[in-house]
Amino acid sequence: MLLTEEYMDELASRIDNMMQRYELYPNPNDAMILDCMVRDYEAKKRIMMQNEKLKEIQSPFPPSQG
């Protein structure tokens, strides 16, 4: 699985849908699932940021300015 912006957008959409469902029909199971979904999303975002920083550090060429 690649962590792409499109994938992360899909995860965010799923979280939004689950939040709406939970607001309409509060269910403790949905609250737990929603919590896990948010934690998963945040962890993946942190990994993406770390990967971007590594790419910047390891790049043999400076970032283009212009």
Q: Residue 66 falls within a domain, yes or no?
A: no
Q: Residue 37 falls within a domain, yes or no?
A: yes
Q: Residue 33 falls within a domain, yes or no?
A: yes
> Which tens digit of pLDDT belongs to each residue from 9-66?
999 999 999 999 999 999 999 999 999 999 999 999 999 999 989 888 887 766 666 5
Q: Residue 65 falls within a domain, yes or no?
A: no
Q: Which domain holds residue 29?
A: 1-6+15-52
Q: Residue 58 falls within a domain, yes or no?
A: no
Non-local (6+) Cβ contacts of 18 within 8 A are 30, 33, 34, 37
Q: Residue 19 falls within a domain, yes or no?
A: yes
For the entire predicted model, the pTM comes to 0.78
Structural domains in the chain (count): 1
